[in-house]
Amino acid sequence: MARLVLNHLSDSTYRQLAVEANKRNVNVSELAVILLELAVADLAAGPSAQPAASPRPRDPK
């Protein structure tokens, strides 16, 4: 699962994840899986746990 998560990250996101994993002295794959589990748990909690999306401004024409 960790490889699947890491393969879908952009280069800059992977670098940020690697830096944070290094700061915490953990494997980057472990940190990716933990963050994915937290995100899934947050989504499963329902819409009340997520901030309301702000509407996008209209494109002036």
Q: Look at the chain and count its residues.
A: 61
Res 61: pLDDT: 56
Res 19: pLDDT: 94
Among 6-10, 40-44, 48-52, which stretch is predicted with the lowest mean pLDDT? 48-52
Tell me the per-residue pLDDT of 22-36, one tens digit each, with 9 for 90 and over.
999 999 988 888 888
If you average pLDDT over every residue of the chain, what do you get?
Answer: 80
With bands split at pLDDT 50, 70 and 90, how would you rate the model's confidence at 43? confident
- Tell me: pLDDT of 4 over 90: no
Residues 5 and 32 sit within 8 Å (Cβ to Cβ) = yes
- Residue position matching structure tokens 């819409």: 47
